[in-house]
């Protein structure tokens, strides 16, 4: 059994996502945060429970499901922010409209045009990054 | 390695359940976008958004 932090446990094509980590437009904090996301290392409530830091892994916002990385992008409470991001991305790269939220937020897609690619990577990385970075 | 602040950071995890997520996210993103638009990088390498 693979460790739970293995990237390909959560991302179908991890090489695609990881290749974007070296993008020159990312600041160190945003790059670090993407690395943690891709490796399932964000301190979600599911991870806290697994590490015995917390006893309850249910989402604090919707209380409908365990709060893992996938849930964060699909949680009803996140939808205003997620939908704002999708509208921005639809304007920049309409070819990504068919991708689901999880593929977009884990940068698990391909874009040929480099300007579009940089724009989408920057937007996703900064939306996911901690406040003030 | 990540400090404790960034290690637990993603807006969904750090926002109080009673907060308005879109307001908090926009307050964070708008200054970042404005700063980016002032850079040479934005005019050379980005689609306009």
**pLDDT, tens digit (0-9, with 9 covering 90-100), for A87-111:** 999 999 999 999 998 899 999 999 9
**CA count, 13 A, side-chain hemisphere, A2:** 9
Q: Which among A21, A42, A69 is positioned nearest to A130, based on CA atoms?
A: A42
Nearest CA in chain B to A87: B49
Nearest CA in chain A to B6: A130
Q: Give the mean model confidence (pLDDT) for residues A109-123.
A: 92
Domain count, chain B: 1
Which pLDDT score is estimated for B18? 78
What residues of A are in contact with residue B9 (Cβ under 8 Å)?
A: 33, 129-131
Question: A130 and B49: CB-CB below 8 Å?
Answer: no
Structural domain that includes position B8 = 4-45
What is the C-alpha separation between A100 and A97, in angstroms, rounded? 8
Q: What is the pTM assigned to this prediction?
A: 0.84
What residues of A are in contact with residue B19 (Cβ under 8 Å)?
A: none
Question: Hey, where are the domains in chain A?
Answer: 27-128
């Amino acid at each position: 059994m693979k460790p739970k932090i293995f990237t390909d446990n959560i991302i179908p094509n991890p090489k695609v996502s990881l290749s974007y980590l070296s993008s020159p437009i990312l600041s160190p904090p945003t790059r670090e945060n993407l690395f943690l996301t891709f490796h399932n290392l964000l301190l979600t409530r599911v991870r806290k429970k697994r590490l015995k830091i917390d006893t309850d892994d249910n989402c604090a916002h919707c209380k409908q499901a365990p709060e893992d990385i996938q849930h964060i992008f699909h949680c009803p409470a996140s939808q205003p922010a997620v939908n704002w991001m999708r509208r921005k991305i639809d304007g920049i790269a309409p070819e990504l409209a068919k991708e689901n939220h999880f593929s977009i937020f884990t940068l698990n897609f391909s874009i040929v045009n480099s300007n579009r690619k940089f724009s989408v990577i920057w937007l996703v990385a900064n939306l996911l990054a901690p406040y003030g970075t | 390695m990540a400090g404790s602040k960034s290690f637990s950071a993603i807006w969904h995890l750090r926002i109080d359940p009673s907060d308005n997520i879109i307001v908090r996210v926009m307050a964070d993103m708008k200054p970042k976008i404005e700063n980016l638009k002032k850079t040479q990088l934005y005019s050379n390498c980005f689609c306009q958004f």
